[in-house]
Chains A and B, each alone.
Chain A
Amino acid sequence: MTRMSTEWGDLERRLRDLGSDIGGAPLPGPDAARHRARQRTRRQVAGAAAGIAAAAFGVIALGGLGPLSTSPPEPAHTPTPVPSPTEDAVEPGSELALTVEDLEASSGADELVGWQQVDGPPGEPFLCAPAPGDADRVIERWFQPSPDGYLHQIIEISTSDAAQARFDSVIDELLSCVEERSADNPDDNWLSAVWTVAGIGDSAWLGEYMVEPRSAAGELMVVQVNVVLAGDTVTIITRGGPSMEGHNVGPLPYEVATVAADRLCTWAGRDCSGEPTPQRVYPPVQSDAEPGWLTVDDVVTAMPYFGTIGEVGEIFDGEDYGHICMEQANAVAAGATIVPRRMYSDPLDDALEIQFSEYVAQFDTNQVARAHYEDLQAAVEACGGDVLGGIEDSGYQGSAWRVGDEFLVSHLGAVINGSNVAVIVLSEPSSAQDELPADQTLALLDRAGARLGDLE
């Protein structure tokens, strides 16, 4: 540690003084942290065993869940037959609905907010939030995790056809409502994300939107609405609260929806295992190819370790490669005008566990590019990088290294193709259970080298 500068003493004093604000807001303690960790571990194990996977923003898996009857499970990915109302139908009961224990066990938020079952929403419902329809049977539950937030579960049971129509109408009405509000007041109302799950169960949909506060002095509300079609039921889970995404509704909002689905499966005696294929439909995933740059398809194909990567950022100008081990090989000093960078990310990666950027530096001549490439190699090796391997093709040549410290493990790769050099930087926390696979990094570097050929 070094002494703080005196030049910025006032700023430092003011930053230190902020500490007085936390006096009345202690953290819940180490026991609560361990409890949260244990719950996550249990969920991970249970999820793997049951094949129930879930994605961020409440995308849920309902593989093979047919109508809520006691008939044998349908194979996954097959259409759900229309149930006969008199055939083996089981009268649904309250065991279908979420409980406080479900929420505490699944959301991880119990240490901070504490769930309570309540009779209705605290104050007015969130704007645009779905209300119960006119199904044959409706079960409702309200829960309150904080003074300003709530979770509302609606289970509607009718027939398959009616449920399908209701599923569609809930989504249509929600989107229309948010759109109308956004048209009137775009600063305070907007749709932030929409996800679907294709190829599993019946249908699952999640929308997240920001909306005006429920009181004049309040903060904007973030609301997540999960709609699940399962045989002859539609389940709607609306949860939200003040300020940013996830705030006061728990760090892992999809897990509540997963628990709700589990209850339906258990009640129906159905096998809910299945592989979800979550897909974000809004904002649309950008995968447009730019000459010289890796595409999303390149990344998904070469590096399945990434999972569901689907985000490709804008290409923006930079002046360095953004990694400390490449600082000594400055492309701009070597003759490149800029070092444009593009970030690729997995939209389902809840905590930016894996970060990946590509940089492309263009030089005037092959010789200058070659000299810079060799500088890069020397810089990374001087930084202690362990060589992962190399690639070579008729048009390009590259090397990759592994560097790591207590925070991050990074794979760095550099490839030269004519007068252009591409650098890839992949990082994940040192605590990650699996290590970035070297062969996949090399495969990715190989594609980067090939893509550089577009610039020649």
Chain B
Amino acid sequence: MNYLDSGRNQMRGSGVLAIEPGSPPAGLATYQQWGAMSSQSEEFDAFYHATNRRLLHQMYAMTGNLADAQECVQEAYARAWQHWKTVQQAEDPAAWVRTVAWRIAASRWRKTRNGLKAFARQGRPEHTQPPSPDHVALVSALKEISEEQRRAIVLHHLVGMSVEEVAREVGAPVGTVKARLSRGRAALAQILREEPIGGDADVH
């Protein structure tokens, strides 16, 4: 299966796993059970490897913090495995993971009274290499717009979804998504104009 080509119908029509000779693992009564589970694991592995980097990239843009994006995406994959039978039948399993990851991130922001303030003050993401000034400026600007605007912008301009697709994923009316895009882009443009590249003192 090739999960890279399209987000659609990726999990259907799975192949058959060849079962090696030997006894099935404890707890699985038959080779059929073992085979089914192994096949599911292989499908999940393939799905994970094909999608994790772009989902991490997307969540990084949505959260503005690489460590938080890692945590939310990994947690979402864990939940996807818990519900794998459902998720693999979804029209777009990657979108399922992205939606859950977003919900986890949004929940964390809202948990604390000053969640947004905490979010805005997180500072730079954890990098093995320092981020470029351009990245710092963009991430800083993204942090200054509302979370829903940020989500709409990432889905539309990074994931490449149409406004209608964004509306469907976030469960909001098309008009609302258009408004979020419009206001978010205007705010981003203003912020990026006002701040020279790499000029945000809050992000080192």
Chain A positions within 8 Å of B, measured between CB atoms, are: 1-5, 8, 11-12, 14-30, 32-34, 36-37, 40-41, 56-57, 108, 111-112, 190, 192-193, 208, 210, 217-220, 222, 242-248, 251, 283, 320-324, 326-327, 349-353, 405-408, 410, 427, 429-431
B41 within 8 A of A: yes
User: With A244-B68, A247-B67, A406-B91 in contact, do A1 and B162 touch (Cβ < 8 Å)?
Assistant: yes
Closest A residue to B157 by CB, please name it. A12
- Is the beta-carbon distance between B185 and A17 smaller than 8 angstroms? no
Please determine whether B107 and A350 come into contact, CB atoms closer than 8 angstroms: yes
The interface of chain B, by Cβ under 8 A from chain A, is 7, 41, 44-45, 48-49, 52-54, 56-57, 60-61, 65-68, 70-71, 73-75, 77-83, 86-87, 90-92, 95-96, 99-100, 103-104, 106-115, 118-119, 121-123, 125-129, 131-132, 134-135, 138-139, 153-154, 156-158, 160-162, 165, 167-169, 171-176, 185, 188, 204
Contacts of A408 in B (CB 8 A): 171
A320 partner residues in chain B, CB cutoff 8 A: 173, 175-176
Contact B52 A27, beta carbon cutoff 8 Å: yes
Query: How many Å lie between the Cα of A378 and that of B123 in the bound state?
Result: 49
* Main SS at interface, chain B: helix
The answer to whether B171 touches A111, judged by C-beta atoms less than 8 angstroms apart, is no
Q: Can you list 23 A-B contacts (CB < 8 A)?
A: A1-B162, A4-B160, A8-B157, A12-B158, A18-B60, A21-B125, A21-B131, A21-B135, A27-B52, A27-B77, A33-B44, A192-B113, A193-B112, A193-B113, A220-B121, A222-B112, A245-B108, A247-B68, A322-B173, A350-B107, A406-B95, A407-B99, A407-B171
The answer on a CB contact under 8 Å between A245 and B135 is: no
Quick one: given A18-B60, A27-B52, are A219 and B122 in contact (CB under 8 Å)?
Answer: yes
Give Cα distance in the complex from A397 to B49, angstroms.
52
CA distance A442 to B91 in the complex (A): 31
Q: Within the complex, which residue of A15, A19, A29 is in contact with B157, where a contact is CB–CB below 8 Å?
A: A15
Which partner residue on chain A sits nearest B66 by CB separation? A25
- A251 to B104, Cβ gap below 8 A? yes
A301 to B172, CA, bound (A): 28
CB distance from B123 to the nearest CB of A (A): 4
Given A25-B126, A407-B95, A15 and B61 contact (CB-CB distance below 8 Å): yes
> Which residues of chain B are within 8 angstroms of A36 by Cβ–Cβ distance?
74-75, 78
With A12-B158, A320-B173, A429-B100 given, can you name 6 additional A-B contacts, CB distance below 8 Å?
A: A1-B165, A4-B157, A220-B118, A352-B110, A406-B96, A408-B171
Pick from B74, B87, B114, B168: contact of A111, CB below 8 A: B74
Say how far B4's CB is from chain A's closest CB, in angstroms.
Answer: 13
Q: Are the C-beta atoms of A210 and B112 separated by less than 8 Å?
A: yes
Contact A28 B67, beta carbon cutoff 8 Å = no
Contacts of B104 in A (CB 8 A): 251, 351
Question: In angstroms, how far is the closest chain A Cβ from the Cβ of B120?
Answer: 10
- Most interface-central of B52, B65, B82, B131 (chain A CB within 10 A): B82
* Distance of A326 Cα from B65 Cα, bound (Å): 35
Complexed CA–CA distance, A309 and B142 (Å): 31
| CB–CB B172/A322 < 8 A | yes
